[in-house]
Amino acid sequence: MLADAPLATRMRPRSFDEFVGHRHILGPGKPLTKLIEGGHLPSMIIWGPPGTGKTTLAYLLARAVHADLQQLSAVTSGVSDARRVMEHAKTTLFRTVLFVDEVHRWNKAQQEILLPAIEDGTITLIGATTENPYHALVSPLLSRSLMIRLEPLEPEEIRKLLERALSDAERGLGGLGVTVADRALDYLVGVSGGDARVALTGLEAAVLLAEEGETVVDLDRARDAVQGTAVVYDRAGDAHYDVISAFIKSVRGSDPDAALFWLARMLEGGEDPRFIARRLVILASEDVGLADPEALPVAVAAAQAVELVGMPEARLNLAHATLYLAKAPKSNSVLTALGRAAADARSADPVPLHLRDAHYGGARALGHGEGYEYPHDFPEHRVEQAYRPQRFEGKRYYEPSGQGEDV
């Protein structure tokens, strides 16, 4: 029964007027608004973090065009279930929307079974996913679907949902005679991470934990209810790529505090420390390079420490390397020089004879090594001679950045 359902389920929006957030797609004149006002509903993939309204949006869209919505979960359903829905759609007089939650869980063959029915209009697909669809879904499905991106809800939007739940006597907590202190609400908003379900679940727990006769839920009660909210991080999903990207860009941008924030986010979320260490080793050459020749040894030492020390102590080694690299002078001359050289190196020009290996029998007879001048036989152990194919000789690839020691 609905009365026994969790608060987040009971407070699910029943209309677009109750739907909070995502004005970039649902405001006046926005894409989805225009489509449903015209009675159109194309197949689409709704992509976003948990608790942002993907399922609710699917139901509201189907209702807006008077369609029959059939829901499947890709976790528990397979090809036979999809075929059953498609057969049903062929016999009904109503437009059929197939809503597949966590559609990324289906493999390539399972996803492709939907294509003919989408193509001929038997069904309209609405797929919901927390994963990047460009990584998780097959190209033919993407090409037939509108892509809708939902972002985490803003703090003021989460607060609006909590206040609505507190005032709603029919579906919410309004009939319990309990109020929630502003600081407690602020706390619940903060720990939600933009996830409406997390916020409403925390609110419900805080109210239900109130002692008999207690009419105000304070900050301590809210903290007791939440107790260690999980860090929003999925090692297998988008967060894996988004957070490491933010981390690398913060180090590259010489912001040690931001770099530490993202490092901590990854470590608290259970990211593999070896993955972080490898990225630091790459960054040391790509973004610091010759501006600080010690950067690479520091990063390599941190990677070795991860293997030698292990977690949780290796967190310190990763933080050490992160701060060193963030504070170091920056130069990408190694990256740019290699890129310029690679463009020319793709040619098939032969190695000049004087540079070829002359250590095996018969090499000298072929002219290998002839004319080569040994640098150590000359003053300062240097000698001017051609070291590349003639047409590339004199072309500069490496240009010092002028930063730190890269001069």
Q: What is the pLDDT of residues 149-193, one digit of tens each?
A: 998 899 999 999 999 999 999 999 988 888 899 999 998 998 888
Q: What is the pLDDT of residue 228?
A: 52
Tell me the mean pLDDT in the region 378-388.
90
Strands 68-73 and 124-129, bridge-based pairing: unpaired
H runs (alpha helix) in 120-272: 133-136, 139-143, 155-167, 182-192, 196-208, 219-226, 238-252, 256-268
Q: What is the pTM of this model?
A: 0.64
pLDDT higher than threshold 70 for residue 389: yes
Cα 84 to Cα 354: distance, rounded to the nearest angstrom: 74
Partners of residue 71 on adjacent β-strands: 99
Domain with CATH 1.10.8.60 in the chain: 155-226
361's enclosing H/E stretch is none
Q: What is the pLDDT of residues 108-133, one digit of tens each?
A: 989 999 999 999 999 999 999 988 89
Partners of residue 100 on adjacent β-strands: 72, 127
Q: Look up the CATH architecture of domain 22-149.
A: 3-Layer(aba) Sandwich (3.40)
Domain with CATH 3.40.50.300 in the chain: 22-149
Q: What is the pLDDT of residues 235-257, one digit of tens each?
A: 556 667 888 999 999 999 999 99
Per CATH, the number for 155-226 is 1.10.8.60
Q: What is the pLDDT of residue 100?
A: 96
Count CB-CB contacts under 10 A for residue 266.
24
Per CATH, the number for 238-327 is 1.20.272.10
Residue 48, SS3? coil
